[in-house]
Amino acid sequence: MGGGTAIKTGTRGPMSPPRRSPRGMFCGLWAATGIIAAVAGPAPVLAGSTLSAWRVSPDRGIELRTAPGTPVRAYYEEGRQGAGPRIWFDLPGAPLRRRSLTGAGLLQEVRVGKPDEGTTRLVLEFQAGFQLDPRQLRLVGTSRDHWRMDLRQFPPRSLPILGEGDMDSPAWAWPAQAAGNSRPPRPNPVFSRGQGNMAQSPLPRLGRGRYRVVIDPGHGGPDPGAVGIQGLRETDIVLDVALQTARLLQSRGVQVLLTRTSEVDMDLPPRVDLANSSQADLFVSLHANALNMERPDVNGIETFYYEGGLSYGLADALQQRLMAISPGTPDRGARPGRFFVIRRTVMPSVLTEMGFVTGGVDAPRLASRPYRRQLAQALAAGILSFLTQSS
Ligand code: ZN
């Protein structure tokens, strides 16, 4: 269970992480400016690092997931001469490469470095002038592989949502994709009947960084969205599919911004603001439908757009591919809808309902990992074809 680790105060010298490292993109990671900077990229777990994932969460804390039983040391350094205070964590094993992520609000930057060949160092650098009280900083082991440090001394909404890797699962399930391999996943015998090939064909690779896509997993945190058969929750489905879709798109050169990467509460306006301020090329909101438990006969997939034209084209492209991997469920079509997130976004925008969590046909599929992978593959294929055809 770990117990608490008092934070050590660092001094400038060999222990100090480099004050400046090149800012910018890491492998398709794309941190937006503004309150929300949510990213999902390849796992940082590569190479020998024992740091599997980390996350700055909106409830004002930093969480780490490590290899089980890993010792973690936390350090603090006060700000000086125009530089903000810093917190950093040292873990055994070196990361594959150094990288930095641009923060937002009071969090200026996060860096992953290797002070030596045997250490991973995660550095959080805060805004100059912000006074951090180190007596309130305590790193607590919450399980054999999870750590948390409260950052409640920060004002509400002063920290972005930022992170790498998956806080909950032991590993990413996409080694072939992460390595840039274009091999599509093996067709699943249950779900690849009919014209399932559409979403199974290899995805095109686009010019790196040429396109920006916002993916919005609906609901989150205290709002689970629809809850269906055997407790199947919309929020879990859409987050999983969104993360997988993001990874597929990133592996094809598309910059992806997720409105959330974990179970957090997020209102609708910030999702729209994020999309609009990021000048993204398109916006896709992911949802699942529900009726009630007495109506397992109601199933189907539908994709909404607010305005015709490009949004309709995107809706149609996604709807067709989703239907191609979902034989037997009704095609409810690409249709007009007035949802806030598609009405207020300025780029081509759609909201897709990927089936009914209360449906006898849809629910078992939505609960299955292979089908969710196929959903991600279908969405990525539809988005990529839309991007290549509309430009
Ligand atoms: Zn929903």
Tell me the pLDDT of the chain (391 aa) as tens digits: 433 444 544 333 332 333 332 222 111 112 222 222 233 333 333 347 778 778 887 678 898 888 777 778 887 788 888 888 888 888 888 887 787 877 888 898 888 888 888 888 899 999 888 888 877 778 777 777 778 888 888 888 888 777 777 676 432 222 223 333 333 333 322 222 233 333 345 677 777 778 999 999 999 888 899 999 999 999 999 999 999 999 999 999 999 999 998 888 888 998 999 999 998 999 999 999 999 899 999 999 999 999 888 999 999 999 999 999 999 999 999 999 999 999 999 999 999 999 999 999 999 999 999 999 999 999 999 999 999 887 6
Helix (H) / strand (E) containing 164: strand 162-164
> What's the 206 CA to ligand 1 centre distance in angstroms?
30
Helix (H) / strand (E) containing 66: strand 61-66
- My answer on whether 147 and 276 are in the same domain is no
**How far is residue 23's CA from residue 11's CA, in Å, rounded to a whole number?**
24
Based on the number of CB atoms within 10 Å of its own CB, is 344 exposed (0-12), middle (13-18) or buried (19 or more)? Answer: middle
In a domain, 160, yes or no: yes
In a domain, 85, yes or no: yes
- My answer on whether 134 and 250 are in the same domain is no
pLDDT the model gives residue 391: 61
pLDDT the model gives residue 182: 35
- My answer on whether 227 and 372 are in the same domain is yes
Q: Is 117 an annotated catalytic residue?
A: no
- My answer on whether 146 and 228 are in the same domain is no
- My answer on whether 83 and 113 are in the same domain is yes
Strand-strand pairing, 51-57 and 61-66: antiparallel
pLDDT the model gives residue 205: 76
In a domain, 197, yes or no: no
- My answer on whether 223 and 307 are in the same domain is yes
> What's the 260 CA to ligand 1 centre distance in angstroms?
14
- My answer on whether 81 and 158 are in the same domain is yes
- My answer on whether 264 and 339 are in the same domain is yes
> What's the 51 CA to ligand 1 centre distance in angstroms?
33
pLDDT the model gives residue 226: 92
**How far is residue 6's CA from residue 130's CA, in Å, rounded to a whole number?**
21
Cβ(243)–Cβ(372) below 8 Å = no
The closest alpha carbon to 95, from 51, 31, 148, belongs to: 51
> What's the 287 CA to ligand 1 centre distance in angstroms?
4
Six token digits for residue 243: 């993360």
In a domain, 30, yes or no: yes
Domain that holds residue 232: 182-190+202-389
In a domain, 138, yes or no: yes
Of residues 63, 109, 125, 353, which has the active-site annotation?
353
- My answer on whether 52 and 98 are in the same domain is yes
**How far is residue 251's CA from residue 80's CA, in Å, rounded to a whole number?**
40
pLDDT the model gives residue 265: 81
The closest alpha carbon to 241, from 311, 174, 310, belongs to: 174
> What's the 224 CA to ligand 1 centre distance in angstroms?
9
- My answer on whether 32 and 158 are in the same domain is yes
pLDDT the model gives residue 168: 65
Helix/strand/coil for 163: strand
> What's the 322 CA to ligand 1 centre distance in angstroms?
17
Residue 313's domain is classified under what CATH number?
Answer: 3.40.630.40
Structural domains counted in the chain: 2
pLDDT the model gives residue 173: 25
- My answer on whether 158 and 262 are in the same domain is no
pLDDT the model gives residue 129: 86
In a domain, 172, yes or no: no
What's the pTM value of the predicted model, to 2 decimals?
Answer: 0.52
The closest alpha carbon to 164, from 280, 65, 72, 248, belongs to: 65
In a domain, 339, yes or no: yes
- My answer on whether 214 and 160 are in the same domain is no
Number of residues in the chain: 391
In a domain, 343, yes or no: yes
> What's the 288 CA to ligand 1 centre distance in angstroms?
5
